[in-house]
Structure 1
Amino acid sequence: MKANYHTHTYRCHHAVGTEREYVEAAIRAGLQILGFSDHSPYVFKDGHYSSFRMRPEELPEYVLTLSGLREEYKEQIQIHIGLEAEYYRENWSDYLNLLKGSGVEYLILGQHYADGEYPGAEYSGKPSDDEKRLRAYVDSVLEGVNTGLFSYVAHPDILNFTGEEAVYDSEMHRLVDGVFRAGVPFEINLLGLRERRSYPCERFWKILEPYRCPVILGADVHDPQWMYPAETIEEAKKMAEAHHLGVTEQLDITRLKKHGI
């Protein structure tokens, strides 16, 4: 593994470590490319501030800090500036306005909430047999990738559905087919694998298997010490191989630029 595009920092309020500490950890691990994708700020119409993401006013300093480190370490590693964001239809135009001219290069889609962070909304990883929430999750992911702005789908199998298997299979077939047609890669999430979370989810990857599409390994690192979890990386590679999915480290990070953002 020579590239990781899924890296957080202390700015999301639930990770530890400065940007510099992550850069130096990546260099020690032998990475050639390090993409930062901290939990994106979002502009909510009701003035809501999320507790698990950076605030809008923190974005300029995030970009400025990473731009400086990119120049400082350019002889040792390639650094890219990104964000991990959800797709929320009602907030999307305001979000794009926030991004314009910010210096952010790429987005990865991490749908931590099915369709919004409204009062009572439940985290996607919480076990639930709610079919409406499952469909809302799939709808949001598909709408997100069809904007053409996301470089890949992070932990696509985060939705922890405990209802009827046939319903899950139907909806995940819809998700996989739509994302595949949009030409957007899927991530095998190393954090979820290492911590034995509900994802990566075997039943999801069985659905993906016939597509023979490339997948990306994402460290989803929230602490510099886990920049390169060697045993987990090998486990993820074996998982991809078992499902006939090739692992790629090539990522299109020009989608925002192509859309003038």
Structure 2
Amino acid sequence: MKFDLHTHHYRCGHASDNIQDYIESAIKAGLQVIGISDHSPYFAHEHDHPQPNIAMARSEFPNYVAEVLRLKEAYKDRIEVLLGVESDFYSDQIELYRSSYEPYPFDYIIGSVHQTRNVSIFNRNRWKNLNEDQQTEEKKHYYELIRQSAQSRLFQVLGHIDAMKGYYPAFADIAGAEAEIDEALKAVAANDLAIEINTSGKTKDCGGWYPTDAILERALHFGADVTFGSDAHLPSRVGDELELVQERLREIGFTRWVFYRKKRKIVVPIY
């Protein structure tokens, strides 16, 4: 079975095309399951649409859900369409986000840490003038937030858990945060979540998937499940490198990966 849980569309302001275009692309790619998971609004912000190039407007959120549900029904005989969302994780706003999602029938929610200390994880300037110890502290802090997100009981999937390397490839080589990474992976396993193998890293400076093989090996060791997400911002990237990811997971030792339907884990064997 082929599936892709991480796709975006025009509402987030930095992806192209309509939801239907991504579904059609998934069908052409031979997928049986496609998840729609655009960026959640900034629910805590006083303005309806504070960052139009990053996330959808708060007022658009019901329209987004309604469109996915309409297409889920329209395509039910051709492909399974799942209602998802990629949610920011802010430790001090978790209950607001929880209550904002509660009215809707999500199949899954992806929890992603996109900011630490109010700075984007993709901001390469954040690393300027930091010494080795300070870089290690930043990496530790990032994985502490990921651990907290796993323990929040809000998410089914944790998104791109080493995406800080996206525009700063040296992030992967910062030593000293191994214990924090392990604690985050233990929390994923303990709370029955999954981490995604996200192939969008190939479009960034790091030029590879999230996360590294080393983290995937630790995830397997701790019994954490994995899932697949292209993080497509163009319909043509739906399912991108899915077979290569499956092959690599098999080489590492994984025998299964998962997706979610009505927030229940569906296990798919890796052959």
For the aligned pair, the TM-score class normalised by the smaller chain equals 0.7 to 0.9
- The answer on whether the counterparts of 1:212 and 1:246 sit within 8 Å (CA) in structure 2 is no
Counterpart of 1:251 in structure 2 is 260
Give the deviation of 1:20 after TM superposition. Answer: 1.0
SS at match of 1:210: helix
Correspondence for 1:190 among 196, 199, 209: 199
Does the alignment pair 1:28 with 2:28?
Answer: yes
- The answer on whether the counterparts of 2:150 and 2:184 sit within 8 Å (CA) in structure 1 is no
- The answer on whether the counterparts of 1:193 and 1:200 sit within 8 Å (CA) in structure 2 is no
Does the alignment pair 1:123 with 2:121?
Answer: yes
Give the deviation of 1:137 after TM superposition. Answer: 1.9
Does the alignment pair 1:143 with 2:148?
Answer: yes
Amino acid corresponding to residue 202 of structure 1 in structure 2 = D
SS at match of 1:69: helix
Using the alignment, how far apart are the partners of 1:162 and 1:32 within structure 2?
A: 33
- The answer on whether the counterparts of 1:185 and 1:215 sit within 8 Å (CA) in structure 2 is yes
Counterpart of 2:131 in structure 1 is none
Amino acid corresponding to residue 157 of structure 2 in structure 1 = Y
- The answer on whether the counterparts of 2:139 and 2:174 sit within 8 Å (CA) in structure 1 is no
TM-score, normalised with respect to structure 2: 0.81
Using the alignment, how far apart are the partners of 2:80 and 2:66 within structure 1?
A: 16
Does the alignment pair 1:14 with 2:14?
Answer: yes
Q: Give the 3 Å change call, closer, same or farther, for CA 178–124 of structure 1 in structure 2.
A: farther
Using the alignment, how far apart are the partners of 1:33 and 1:198 within structure 2?
A: 21
Alignment of 1:1-261 (within 5 A): 1-45=1-45, 47=47, 49-50=50-51, 51-114=53-116, 118=118, 121-123=119-121, 126=124, 128=127, 130-160=135-165, 161=171, 164-165=174-175, 167-193=176-202, 196-197=207-208, 199-211=210-222, 213-229=224-240, 232-251=241-260, 253-254=262-263
Amino acid corresponding to residue 143 of structure 2 in structure 1 = V
For residues 96-130 of structure 1, the C-alpha deviation after alignment (integer angstroms, 9 at most, x for no partner) is 33223244442111212236xx3xx1325747453
What's the RMSD between the two structures over aligned residues? 2.5
- The answer on whether the counterparts of 1:80 and 1:105 sit within 8 Å (CA) in structure 2 is yes
Instruction: Indicate the structure with greater strand content.
Output: 2
Please identify runs of 4+ aligned residues in structure 1 that moved more than 6 A. Answer: none
SS at match of 2:177: helix
Q: Percent identity?
A: 26
TM-score, normalised with respect to structure 1: 0.83
- The answer on whether the counterparts of 1:212 and 1:244 sit within 8 Å (CA) in structure 2 is no
Using the alignment, how far apart are the partners of 2:70 and 2:174 within structure 1?
A: 50
SS at match of 1:251: strand
Q: Give the 3 Å change call, closer, same or farther, for CA 178–214 of structure 1 in structure 2.
A: closer
Using the alignment, how far apart are the partners of 1:173 and 1:155 within structure 2?
A: 16
- The answer on whether the counterparts of 1:213 and 1:246 sit within 8 Å (CA) in structure 2 is no
- Any gaps of 5 or more consecutive residues in structure 1? 256-261
- The answer on whether the counterparts of 2:159 and 2:196 sit within 8 Å (CA) in structure 1 is yes
Using the alignment, how far apart are the partners of 2:201 and 2:174 within structure 1?
A: 23
